[in-house]
Structure formats: C-alpha cells, structure tokens
Chain A
Amino acid sequence: MKPRHATPLAAAALLVALPSGLPDFWLFIAVQVLAFALYAVSFNVLLGYGGMLSFGHAAFFGTGGYTAALVLKQPGLAPALVLAGLLPAAMIVSGAAALVIGFFSVRRAGIYFAMLTFAFQMLLYTLALKATPLTGGDDGLTGLKPPGLIASPLAYYYFTLAVVGAGLYVLHRVVRSPFGYTLRALRANALRVQYLGVDVRAHRLAAFAVSGAFAGLAGAIFALSSGNVFPSWLDWTASATPVVMAVLGGTASFLGPALGAAVYVVLEVVISGRTEYWPLAMGVVIMALVLLMPAGLTGVWRKGG
C-alpha cells in the first residue's frame, strides 16, 4: 500500500464500519454528509483546480434532486427500471443544464462568471417555483422514498457510500488526467494556455458540465434520503453552501471540501439542536475556523505533516 492511499483507505474503512449501532437519525445525517461531500468536491473541481468560482451551483444540485423526484413519481415505471435509471437521469439532466448555462457563463471569467452562474440559478429557482404542474411549485415534491432494494436506511446508507465513493473516484481521475493538468494551468494563466493551442472556452465548458453532472448526482442522492425537494434547493443561499464547505475544508486538496462538508453538516445538526439562533452560532464558528485556518482544515494538516 502506498502512503498516499493511507488516508482515503482509512476513511473508507471507517465509513463502511460506521453504521453498526448507529440510530437511523445519524444514518440519515451520514447520508447527508456523503451527498454534500460529493457536491462540495464537484464544486471544487471548478474552484480549486480550474479557478472558476461558480455562484450558482445549487442549480445543478437542485436539478438533480428534481430529476430524481420526477423519475420516482413517474407512473407505470418498473421499480427495477426506476432504480437503474434514477441516478443516470439526474446526472444527464443536470449535466445538460450545466452545458447550457456554461455555454453562456464560461465566456466570462472571475466575478462576471460568478454573476452569470448566479443569474441562471435564479432563473431555475423561479422556474421551480412557478412551473407548479411539474415541480409542485412552492410545496415542492414530497413523499419520495428510495425504491425496492435500497428502501431501508441502512441499505440506503451503503448505496450512498458506494455511489459517492465511485463519484469521488471518477472526479479524482479527472483532476489527475491531462485534462485536469490543463485545468490547473488554466487557473494560473488562461491566456498562456490558449497559446499552447488549447481551446480554453471549450475546456472550461467541459469542466463545468462534469462538475454540474456530479453536483446533480449528489442532489439526487440527497433528495431520496430527505424525501422531498423544494425550490429553496435552487435558491441563491443554497449556492453559498458548497463555497463555504470547500473553503472550510481547503480548496487546495481534493478531499478537503469533503471534510468541510462533514464538519459543516455535523455542526449544523449539533448547533441547531441546542439553539434557535443556530445560524448565528454557525456563522461565528465558521468565521473563527476560516480566520484561524486560511488554507482550510486540510491546509493545517498539510503544514503539520
């Protein structure tokens, strides 16, 4: 075993052993952590590697959630077909949404890119709110349950673990590939990359689509677990979540945002169980963490090791 595999393997072993004796509530939280870990890592492929700050990533998480809900609510589909088609459908639809939104957004960089992604996400939010026959409007889509084999909380936890593990593996391959190297070079100097003969806009668009597809996968997983999707999933505050998670965990590390997601979700559960002013307390804690560890949790780790 190579040393660089030690931490991920230990984490995987821990996650496999985790459910023994865990109450259903914490299994639900564990699924949420895993889903948001995938969401935050997919977001960070853009920010940490490509230097693109998407401020509308909730668009894809939400699209994935709604797609999963719609497939699940489709009458007359065989359960096996639902099970097999659910996640690919969520990835395809959110990936396609990312292609369309990205087509316009990647023409600009920096704050203009962020504003464009923000604007498109608000558009989808409005759509989710107003297209009531399809999306249930303000009431969202509720009563979602994982189909057949993965119906029990324990089964769904392992299902999520497998899917998120596979998703992270694929994204890791992507950032280590020639495409990933090109993305990192793009972050440093897009003009220079263009002069290497690379179509910068097309590469940015591809990164955006890949990131959007995996954010959608995360959204689908979380939708089945939470049992509902609401327009608020596409609200702009929801787009801040992966930003905070990634920065908290450390954008310079592949798994940093996953760690950030775990800390964020668990903090939220613990604090909101104790005070109704939990967003205030969350804000203070996150501020303190970011001020004390500007490179994120994994940044401290790396400096120490």
Chain B
Amino acid sequence: MSAAILRVEALVKRFGGLTALDGVDLTVETGEFHAIIGPNGAGKSTFFNTLTGLLPPDSGRIAFAGRDITGEPPHHVARRGVARTFQITSVFGNLSTLENVQVALLAHARRSWSMWRRARGLRAERAQELLGLVGLAGSAEQPAGTLAHGDQKRLELAIALAGEPRLLLLDEPTAGMAAQERLESIRLVHRIAAGMGLSCVFTEHDMAVVFAVATRITVMHQGRVLAEGTPAEVRARPDVQQVYLGEPA
C-alpha cells in the first residue's frame, strides 16, 4: 500500500443554512493525478478553500502527509508543501513575470522579511529556470498583467512550483481556454508534475481534459462524494452519467 499524501475524512462546511460540504471523504495517494468533477455548485471550490484553511471546517479532519492540518491557516498549509492555483487567474499583474516567481521563491526561502538587500537579482536564476519549465523564458521582463490568458495560467503554475510543493491543488486550471489549448495545458502540468514526483488534485469541467490525465476521479454532487474510482469505473456508473456526464459516451 502506498502512502496517502492527503486524507480528508468527513469534512463538513456550512454557510448558514446551506451545507456546502456534507461529509466529504477523499484520499489521494502519492503521485496520483486526481480529478474532482461535478456540476457548478457541487462544492468543489469550497472544498479547496476548506482544505487549505481559508475557511474553517465545521467538522471533519484533514491530514497531509500523515500530519493533521485541520484548522491551520493558508500560509501554514502552504509551508507544509501544499500549493494551489485559482479558478480566476491570480498572478501579480503589477510585477514582471520574473518578479512574480521571485516573490514566490523568496517567500519559500523565508526571505520575505528581508528589508535591506536588493531583491532584483535574488533567486533570479531559479526563477528563470521555472519560467523556462513552463515555456515563459522569453517573457521574463514583461509585466505579468499584460501576458495572454494562457500564459498567465502557466505563470501561475510556475509560482505554485516555486514553493517546492509535494501536493498541487489546481482549481479549474484550463478555465477560459480554447478546447485545444486546454489539452496542451493540462498535459504540460501533467508532464511537469510527473517529472517532479508531485501529487496533484484538480477540478475540471472539460471531460476530455479529465480523461486525458486523471488517474483517479472523484465526483461531487451537492456537497457529497457521489462516486470515486478510476476513470473507467467512474465512466461506467449510471448515476454519474445522470448527474454530470449527461448522455452516455
């Protein structure tokens, strides 16, 4: 049995009368590429936000690499080796592309408190390497806010990788992209994550993208886990087809 990098047990999150997460269980084995799918409002984003400590859970338990991280704030969770990207592209538009990655590298090296040294050259080589990895080597000096949407998504990936995470959480990594670009983009993520031995959990609406890379799939519906299994198992479930996949393939 391989070690679970992430184990979530009976996670509950309520907003007033609405139960957004209704006892979610999820286990992610090390090295897995785990897709979370489900219709809008199924609780996917709330799940990510609760998992990473942005929202305190009402009950349940979250363990990362065997350690209980329930209730820890996002910056602690990040320090433990969990990186995330956002559904709405979140680069620092007022910084250059290179500076975006530098900020992340400096934060990871606990240098964000350094008030005296010039930051310009610090960790610049490593930042350039990471930009090369995601195919943005030529855009280093460009203000990140002026990058094309797809490039901003790739920059987000570089920022996430700067923290040397063990687990990547990607919230709709291909949102807003054209169909062909989506596949290329998720394959790039998959190649890099596999190369670094990272585990990955991602939410996605495009089934072509999901089935291209996912090793396991969890289907969420109305705050609960409806089904969980390999892509073939999930695809075969009639109830999954009904709530989400639509017409049988």
Contact = CB atoms under 8 A, between A and B. Distances in A.
Interface of A: 173-174, 176-182, 184-185, 187-189, 191-200, 203, 206, 210
Interface in B81-108: 83-84, 86, 90-95, 99-100, 102-104, 106-108
A166 to B, nearest CB: 14
Nearest to A180: B119
B95 A177 contact: no
B112 A188 contact: no
B163 A197 contact: yes
Contact of B74 (A176, A194, A206): A194
Nearest to A51: B94
B107 A182 contact: yes
Contacts, number: 101
B15 interface: no
Interface of B: 52, 54, 73-76, 78-79, 83-84, 86, 90-95, 99-100, 102-104, 106-108, 111-120, 122, 159, 162-163
Contacts of A174: 115-116
Contacts of B122: 178
15 contacts: A173-B118, A177-B114, A177-B116, A177-B117, A178-B112, A178-B113, A178-B114, A178-B117, A178-B122, A181-B119, A188-B92, A192-B159, A194-B73, A194-B75, A198-B107
Given A182-B107, A198-B75, 13 more contacts: A177-B119, A178-B112, A178-B122, A179-B113, A188-B93, A188-B94, A192-B86, A192-B159, A195-B78, A195-B83, A196-B104, A196-B107, A210-B115
Given A195-B52, A195-B84, A196-B108, A188 B119 contact: no
A184 B92 contact: yes
B107 A177 contact: no
Which residue of A178, A191, A206 has the most chain B CB atoms within 10 A of its CB atom?
A178
Which residue of A176, A185, A188, A199 has the most chain B CB atoms within 10 A of its CB atom?
A185
A176 B120 contact: yes
Contact of B119 (A178, A196, A197, A206): A178
Given A177-B115, A195-B78, A182 B120 contact: no
